[in-house]
Amino acid sequence: MGKVKKGVQCSILNCNKPAIKYVSKEKLSEAKFASTSESGKAYLCNEHYKMFKKKIKSMKKLEKWRFMG
């Protein structure tokens, strides 16, 4: 059983909601989110995970365009 199923809280500052997903701390820092996690994983609640996906999507799109030519 993982930490998410055990009820770990969101790693974003000032958020106490239960986490639903985890991402690497490096990806979270790329998306410019402030986290309280000291380990290699950062746990995100539903709201913050949606914001994270939107930022990563736009970053991936720009990276793809950069390599297209």
In order along the chain (69 residues), what is the average pLDDT of each group of 10 residues?
85 92 88 80 93 90 85
Asked whether the beta carbons of 10 and 44 are under 8 A apart, the reply is yes
CA distance 9 to 47: 13
In this predicted structure, what is the pLDDT of residue 1?
A: 67
In this predicted structure, what is the pLDDT of residue 28?
A: 86
CA distance 18 to 31: 21
Helices marked H in 1-69: 3-6, 25-30, 46-68
Give the end-to-end CA distance of the chain in Å, rounded to a whole number: 45
